[in-house]
Copies of this chain bind each other. A is one copy, B any other.
Amino acid sequence: MTSISAGVVGAAGYIGGELLRLLIAHPEVEVTRAYSASQQGKRVDSLHPNLRGHTSLTFTHPDELGSHDVLFIAVSHGKAAELVQAIGPAAPLVVDLTADFRLKDPAVYETYYGSAHPAPDLLAGFTPGLPERHRDALRTAARISVPGCMANAAILALAPLAGIVDQDVTIDAKIGSSGSGATATGMNLHSERSGAMRVFAAVRHRHEAEVEQETGLRVRMTATGVEAVRGAQVLCHATASGVTENDLRRAYRTAYGNEPFVRIVAQRRGLYRLPEPKILAGTNFCDVGFAVDGDRVLAVAALDNLGKGGASNALQCLNIRMGWAESTGLGFVGLHPI
Contacts and interface: CB of A to CB of B under 8 A. Distances in A.
Interface stretch (A64-72, A81-89, A128-136, A268-276): A268-276
B182 A190 contact: no
30 contacts: A14-B191, A21-B333, A49-B271, A52-B265, A53-B263, A172-B172, A178-B337, A182-B189, A184-B185, A184-B186, A184-B189, A186-B271, A187-B271, A190-B194, A191-B229, A194-B229, A195-B229, A197-B233, A197-B276, A203-B296, A220-B293, A220-B296, A222-B235, A224-B233, A227-B228, A230-B338, A281-B335, A282-B282, A282-B332, A332-B332
A284 to B, nearest CB: 12
A237 interface: yes
A277 interface: yes
Contact of A174 (B50, B192, B197, B291): B197
Contacts of A170: 170, 237
A7 interface: no
A293 B203 contact: yes
Contacts of A337: 14, 17, 178, 182, 191-192, 194, 229-230
How often does this chain occur in the complex, in copies?
4
Given A202-B274, A237-B222, A338-B229, A302 B197 contact: yes
Nearest to A170: B237
Contact of A25 (B172, B187, B276, B331): B331
B265 A229 contact: no
Q: Interface centre among A237, A287, A333, by most B CB within 10 Å?
A: A333
Nearest to A293: B203
A320 to B, nearest CB: 20
Interface residues of A, number: 83
A50 B202 contact: no
Contacts of A139: none
Contact of A191 (B182, B235, B237, B331): B182
Interface in A248-302: 263, 265, 269-274, 276-279, 281-282, 287, 291-293, 296, 298, 300, 302
A202 B300 contact: yes
A241 interface: no
Contacts of A186: 184, 271
B49 A279 contact: yes
Contacts of A49: 265, 270-272, 279, 336
Contacts of A177: 189-191, 194
B50 A195 contact: no
Contacts of A77: none
A46 interface: yes
A197 B279 CA distance: 10
A46 B300 CA distance: 19
A199 B21 contact: no
